[in-house]
Amino acid sequence: MPELPEVQTIVSELKNEIVGKKIAEVNYNLPKMVVGDIKKIIGAKIASVSRRAKIIIVKLGGGLNLLFHLKMTGQLIYLPAGKDKTKVGERINKYTHVIFKLSDGSRLLFNDLRQFGWVKIFGTEDLKKAINKEKYGPEPLSKEFTLAKFQQMLAQKPNAKIKPLLMDQSFIAGIGNIYSDEILYFAKVHPLKKVKDLNQKDIEKIYEGILKILRAAILAKGTSIDTYRRTTGEKGTYALKRQVYQRKGLPCYHCQGKVQTVKIGGRTAHFCPGCQK
């Protein structure tokens, strides 16, 4: 599933391509992926593109908003006006379920292999209610997310295991399986370690890792190991920098011990037993 760096990359790229344009037409072949009255957004001007957790928010004129959630395999691909494919060959295919035609002739494709993603139409007040209902935790790259704030948050979860806690969207927004693995490897903390067993150095390194790794992944345009693609169809390059995620059986870059995995709550954690205690 795309995580914060992937979603932020898409938001940044869409800002450059679709803001200021109007929605001229919408076509879709999978009704379950579209929630709301599409007719309401025809002719609406795109005012901004932003993100909350892993949700993409496209603000429209007239008090309307489009929300996209890519779930596991969703993609938003932008086709410039007069182009049937991107520079890397991405085009409309059998997994393209929603097509937004914009006023300049460009198109935004919503592809989804597994069909778990969705687009929803909300008025401004309903949008606020929908976001609040999700009870997302703080944005980890916001000014409000300080080390002191992180320490206070951890103090409320003494018996929680650190790996699933970092992935809990009500605790911190946007971190998933990839980056929780990488953050904990950076901090040299075992994914099964409980919060109450973390020392001050552990906490400081986890906090540092959250900021450092998420920012680096955004600069690399995300991690394309599976189906994630940028709006251009290009891959993000952070996969080339990962230290443990999906490297089971391969040597640790630091101690040369083999990367191992452990199941935690139905998810697979990757770690180095020699480095992460």
Q: 18 — phi, psi (to 5°)?
A: -115, -15
In 3D space, the residue among 72, 67, 45, 71 whose CA is nearest the CA of residue 57 turns out to be 67
2 carries an active-site annotation = yes
242 carries an active-site annotation = no
194 carries an active-site annotation = no
Catalytic residue among 45, 193, 258, 267: 267
Q: 270 — phi, psi (to 5°)?
A: -105, 135
3 carries an active-site annotation = yes
Catalytic residue among 51, 54, 163, 230: 54
Asked whether the beta carbons of 270 and 261 are under 8 A apart, the reply is: yes
Catalytic residue among 3, 6, 13, 17: 3
The CA distance from 104 to 18, in Å, is 10
Catalytic residues: 2-3, 54, 267
